[in-house]
Amino acid sequence: MLIEANRIKFKGIALNVKQLTKKYATVTNRIERWSPNLQCQDESSVKQLFLLGPSRSGKSSLEKLLIGIPNVCPMFENINLNSIDITDHGRKASKKLDMAEIFYHDEIGLSDNGHNLITSTSPESIFYIDHLLDGFVNSFYILVERDQTDIASEIFKQEYTNGNFYSYAHSSIREYLNTYTVIWKEIKRKAPQRLLEIKYEDILTNPQGILEQIGQFISANLQLDHVPKHSRRKKISPFREHYALRFKV
């Protein structure tokens, strides 16, 4: 029934999926041509931590772990990426991004509230990551790694009110995940010092170790009272086996 429902849904959004495919190719080509122009870091300014990964990869689980830390301001997916000019990198100097435009908070306001770290889990950030890296002085990027079949099966079972048009067919889900992987590998090759990879399972089973790892990565003190020993969330999607059998992955 789910497969049939998704087939019907997909027929109605085929044009949107075609437009997404064009977007993937455009972004990938832009990032492949990109030469990093990273600014010198300023330890006194607020750090931006982008928690990346495809939809359903476990980014929110990581942000929930960080939420309890007093100096962290979580923005979830509520950031304004549309304010970024994504024209090709044909300029000598990178444009510095305005935190208030992207995060709806400025540094003074964040600092006054005791925040020196702001986080985002918008999966769309990957498509702007070259501009984010060049435009922010203190931005860091964590990819949450999860089994691709787990992610695909979790995406396939979701029904979205709008957007995420790739979610209703195995072929478009695979293209979305492949694009995410290609972009991350290219960024990892060009700016590895700003990137960190964390396994989804480790977030659930070793939250204290994850906090220590992130703290070292961004040179920040991430102390959380009453760190949970482990999460009850399932490590493996209950839909993984069914999805793998149906689509032979």
**CATH T-level fold of 2-247:** Rossmann fold (3.40.50)
Q: Name the residue among 55, 125, 38 with its Cα closest to residue 86.
A: 125
Mean residue pLDDT of the chain comes to: 89
pTM beyond 0.85: yes
Q: Name the residue among 62, 99, 79 with its Cα closest to residue 201.
A: 62
Has residue 132 got a pLDDT over 90?
yes
Task: Identify the pLDDT of residue 92.
Answer: 46
In the chain, the percentage of residues whose pLDDT exceeds 70 is 92
Mean pLDDT of 101-126: 92
Mean pLDDT of 218-223: 85
Task: Identify the pLDDT of residue 120.
Answer: 95
Has residue 86 got a pLDDT over 60?
yes
Has residue 90 got a pLDDT over 60?
no
Has residue 100 got a pLDDT over 80?
yes
Has residue 173 got a pLDDT over 60?
yes
Place of tokens 């985002």: 120
Specify whether the CB–CB gap between 157 and 246 falls below 8 A. no
Mean pLDDT of 205-209: 90
* pLDDT tens per residue across span 24-46: 999 999 999 999 988 777 766 89
Token duo for residue 43: 């330890």
Q: Name the residue among 60, 116, 59, 70 with its Cα closest to residue 224.
A: 70
Task: Identify the pLDDT of residue 184.
Answer: 96
Which residues, at least 6 apart from 88, have a Cβ–Cβ distance to it below 8 Å? 30, 33
CA-to-CA separations, 214 to 142, 170, 225, in angstroms, rounded: 9, 33, 16
CA-to-CA separations, 128 to 46, 81, 91, in angstroms, rounded: 20, 8, 16
